[in-house]
Amino acid sequence: MQEYLQGLNDSQREAVLHRDGPIMIVAGAGSGKTKVLTTRIAHLMASGVDAFQILALTFTNKAAAEMKERVTHILGNNEARNLYIGTFHSVFARILRAEADKLGYPRNFTIYDTDDAKSVVRTVVKEMNLDDKHYKANTVYNRISNAKNSLITPDEYINDFGLQQEDMRANRPLIGKIYAAYCNRCFKNGAMDFDDLLLKFYQLLKTHPERLIKYQRKFKYIMIDEYQDTNTSQYQIIKLLGAMHENVAVVGDDAQSIYSFRGATIENILQFQKDYDEVKVVMLEQNYRSSQNILHVANHIIANNKGQIPKKLWTSNIEGEKINLVRTATDNEEGKYVADAIQEQKLRNHFRNSDFAILYRTNAQSRSFEESLRRMNIAYRIYGGISFYQRKEIKDFLSYLRVIVNPGDEEALKRIINYPARGIGKTSVEKAVLYANEQNISMWNVLENAAEFGYRANTLETISNFVVMIKMFQSELQKKNAYDLAILVGKNSGIVKDLFNDKTTEGLARYENLQELLNSIKEYTETPTEDGELLDKSLGSYLQQITLLTDADDDKGESDVVKLMTIHAAKGLEFPVVFVAGLEETLFPNAMAINTREELEEERRLFYVAITRAKNLLWLTYANNRYRFGNLTQNEPSRFIDELPQERLDKSFAGGNMRNNQTNYWNAFDRPKYPGANQKKESKPEKPAYLVSTPVIKIKEHIPSPDFAPSDTSNLQTGQKIEHQKFGFGEVLKMEGAAHNPIAIVKFEHNGEKKIMLNYAKLRIVE
């Protein structure tokens, strides 16, 4: 037996040794699919197959490079360099370079990235005299991209009744014509966008039979990684290329199909056995990654999906710790809890920062985790995106707030002066900067006195309107708290409207991010100190606080960092310790993805992917209350929580004071409030205890009564006597605030009058 076969289990060896004919390798999470794929390539080459006859397609350059390296290591020679191995786009671009003349393109055609493509869309929209605010580049480009990935040409698009009706309902009836003009412009420029690399290759094979035969003969063996993620164009290309020899090997896992929003079609893998005769199916069900408890939970969850290839992962790994299901009072407490748990695990089990991953459904959720990790000086990095406070829409909005507080902040001023677009062009801005430098005054001073600097009448009027708007905001500085002023800015500057009107996936994400920023400001204005007292909630105070959080460099070249990412970005990765956050209805599963069984099942597959990223320890967290669109909303736990096997869970509650539930919320989890609360002080817990994120208040001014116990304050009335843990005894003078966030004004015997937020403060009603 060849040495490279010795480390394989029976199923893996069966997949590697199969040579001719179609084969579907159903590779469960952590089952060693990359090892199987690379060993199979090496075995083909060791068996005499020419490397030039093997085509291996992946979805990332990293995966392709790793596979090539492994094949080279197995064979001990450099033959792997002759493989056609890479991403769909890179391999097809390589072929299209050689065949470009068949399609009328120069061999050195340009490949447009997304920004280039959107720029062309803007040019076309402008030349067609269309409203670029209505025909936004993002919206139009995504529509074109979806059409190309479905192999729909401009002519077919224009003549497709269904597509035209969709555009009519969206009040964008001319997208088809824009699509045609866009393609003509790209062709004239000798350029292809990313989607063209698939569409044009497909057209090459369909319209030039001799080219199809050439590449069918050339690629005698075809292998595709992550087959469940292929879209229509990729599927059709593989069908064409593999039609001659049918030596098509696909590796994938239907349970990890989570990219339908990119055009991926789970049916491609579910229907593979119908596409070819006598398909060999090999199931890789032994998991080498996760503990038994984690794997059991994953199997239990995915079993609820009807549309799947039946399988059950198993492992010989240790049983491991139970899965931690943690409920917190708010999303802010969720962030604190996770940071505390990471610190605790580092101290107890000697984990490094790089052993931890925090996974969430949407990018906007990163904010509370970033803030908590920064406060605890735990290094982290955002993956698959940029830091919350570095996102363009966040920087734009904060720049408005910075200019209101300090109009001399030139960088912030330059960022917002023409956003949203108001007709103050680049030349006008450059003039303002030049005049400011010449006169040794601030750019704001120039704008205030624009009439003295020779601006044209229409530009002068626009600048004047901008200055008046900023001064109007400034006039409210002493009247409104940070949140109320931020809402005023959002409405009057046009930023909220601009983001709301962009209905693309990216536009919705940006809008959600801005709402998350407003949520954080609202939370700042309503969150008291540990003892429930409200402090300075002005805009200046908020900006100082946020500056301290974001002043540090995001990336200092450290590799030992906690990873923060969406679950989509985590696919294909693994971590010793994983936190899956935000398990709440309308968040996970997402409210926009539960209209059909197919959408709900994809959300469940996403949950399955999140669970199976974990090797040793797994936390699932959710918040009873979360700031959404400026309001502290009550959340229902995710339906996925009900699907978890209860015997594999370790449940707890952390953070905050759950008003109205003070007498029974621990009973729901059959667990004491603090880990080890029923143990003697000298005893050691059987497993690591997890920190409770709300700090214990150190009593200085007042010693609570021996029988002190927090009362249910949901019906607290004016005139009632209460006891506060820190401030002592007092009388309720007045009740104010919203019903979901009541505030009591209390006059204490020794500490004077204070505002107390009842959702957070612990009070005992005396009479």
Which residues are part of the catalytic machinery? 33-34, 225-226, 256, 613
In the block, tokens 């090997």 appear at 249
The C-alpha atoms of residue 8 and residue 11 are separated, in whole angstroms, by 8
**Cβ atoms of 56 and 223 closer than 8 Å:** yes
Phi, psi (degrees; rounded to nearest 5) at 389: -80, -5
In the block, tokens 């966040």 appear at 394
Q: How does DSSP assign 248-287, residue by residue? A: EEEEE-GGG---GGGT--THHHHTHHHHSSS-EEEEE-B-
**Cβ atoms of 761 and 728 closer than 8 Å:** no
* Residues 140-158: b if buried by 16+ CB within 10 A, e if exposed: bbbbbbbbbbbbbebeebb
Phi, psi (degrees; rounded to nearest 5) at 682: -80, -10
**Which two tokens mark 728?**
């002592």
Q: How many Cβ atoms are within 10 Å of 638's Cβ, its own excluded? A: 22
Q: How does DSSP assign 400-423, residue by residue? A: HHHHHH-TT-HHHHHHHTTSS--S
Start-to-end C-alpha separation, the chain: 85
The C-alpha atoms of residue 569 and residue 358 are separated, in whole angstroms, by 11
**Cβ atoms of 435 and 463 closer than 8 Å:** no
Kindly tell me the burial class for residue 634, based on how many C-beta atoms sit within 10 Å of its own C-beta (0-12, 13-18, 19 or more).
exposed
**Cβ atoms of 475 and 111 closer than 8 Å:** no
| Angle at alpha carbon of residue 384, lines to 380 and 390, rounded to 5° | 65
HSE (side-chain half, CA atoms, 13 Å) at 338: 37
Kindly tell me the burial class for residue 510, based on how many C-beta atoms sit within 10 Å of its own C-beta (0-12, 13-18, 19 or more).
buried
> Could you tell me which residues come within 8 angstroms of residue 190 by beta carbon, excluding any fewer than 6 positions away?
105, 106, 108, 109, 110
> Could you tell me which residues come within 8 angstroms of residue 62 by beta carbon, excluding any fewer than 6 positions away?
none
The maximal CA–CA distance of the chain, rounded, in angstroms, is 94
**Which two tokens mark 685?**
């817990």
The C-alpha atoms of residue 660 and residue 329 are separated, in whole angstroms, by 12
**Cβ atoms of 584 and 637 closer than 8 Å:** yes
Element (H, E) at 312: none
In the block, tokens 């959404």 appear at 628
| Angle at alpha carbon of residue 570, lines to 266 and 584, rounded to 5° | 85
What's the one-letter identity of residue 221?
Y
